[in-house]
């Protein structure tokens, strides 16, 4: 009997918690378009919890994708500039610096995108495992890595080039090629493939 009562109460508590989080968010914005520009750090400051901020950030990204369902399905990557154009809008949804993995099907249509945390990108084995797990789960034929930042120098460090080469080598073993690694800002981009680094 106690267990049944507990189960009946918990969902109500969770809904109350979600409501408080949404109220805190609405208190800090004047227009829905501002939601696109909120980074994970911004959300953490608003809701006061990093875990809740991550959940809210993911929810906002999902809402953005669902509001444009046909656009993602028909976007084709034929050259590095296409990936740059696709990710340009998404820079507004990310923090100061964010790496994303684009999953592509056999026709080079984008089938999904996944954010990669900085701590994962700083560890080659962890990065390789994460990238190819995501590509396999999405049944992807290939992938593209894009490091997005709002401004600054897009030229990679030697460590970033080493990381890109290690990922490309792992791709050969897994049979899911990484077509390119791209550094980009709002106004410019650099393709590792075009420079011959991968």
What mean pLDDT is predicted for residues 175-190? 90
Maximum separation of any 2 CA atoms in the chain, in Å: 67
Confidence (pLDDT) at 1: 42
Where is 105: in which H helix or E strand? none
How many domains does one find in the chain? 2
* Measured distance CA(179)–CA(135) in Å, rounded: 13
Provide the 3-class DSSP secondary structure of residue 191: strand
| 90 within some domain | yes
CA–CA dist 41, 39 (Å, integer) = 5
Beta strands at 189-191 and 178-184: parallel, antiparallel or unpaired? antiparallel
Same domain (yes/no): 93, 123? yes
135-160 confidence digits (pLDDT tens): 998 889 999 999 988 777 889 889 99
Mean pLDDT of 105-133: 87
Q: Do 33 and 105 share a structural domain?
A: no
Residues 13 and 40 in one domain: yes
Same domain? For 60 and 93 the reply is: no
Choose one of 47, 67, 87: the last residue of a domain.
67
Task: Report pLDDT digits (tens) over 8-37.
Answer: 444 444 455 555 566 666 666 666 666 666
Host domain of residue 8: 2-67
Last residue in a domain, options 67, 86, 110:
67
Structure tokens at 39: 């980074």
């Amino acid at each position: 009997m106690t267990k049944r009562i507990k189960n009946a109460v918990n969902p109500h508590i969770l809904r109350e918690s979600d409501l408080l989080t949404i109220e805190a968010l609405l208190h800090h914005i004047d227009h829905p378009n501002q939601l696109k520009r909120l980074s994970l750090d911004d959300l953490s400051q608003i809701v006061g919890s990093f875990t809740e901020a991550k959940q809210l950030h993911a929810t906002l990204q999902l809402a953005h994708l669902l509001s444009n369902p046909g656009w993602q399905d028909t976007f084709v990557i034929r050259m590095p500039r296409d990936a740059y154009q696709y990710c340009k809008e998404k820079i507004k949804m990310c923090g100061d610096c964010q790496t994303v993995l684009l999953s592509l099907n056999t026709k080079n249509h984008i089938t999904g995108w996944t954010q990669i945390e900085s701590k994962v990108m700083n560890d080659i084995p962890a990065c390789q495992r994460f990238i190819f797990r995501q590509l396999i789960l999405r049944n992807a034929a290939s992938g593209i890595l894009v490091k997005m930042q709002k401004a600054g120098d897009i030229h990679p460090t030697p460590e970033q080039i080493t990381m890109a080469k290690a990922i490309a080598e792992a791709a050969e073993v897994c049979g899911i090629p990484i077509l390119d690694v791209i550094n980009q800002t709002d106004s410019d981009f650099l393709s590792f493939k075009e420079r011959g680094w991968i």
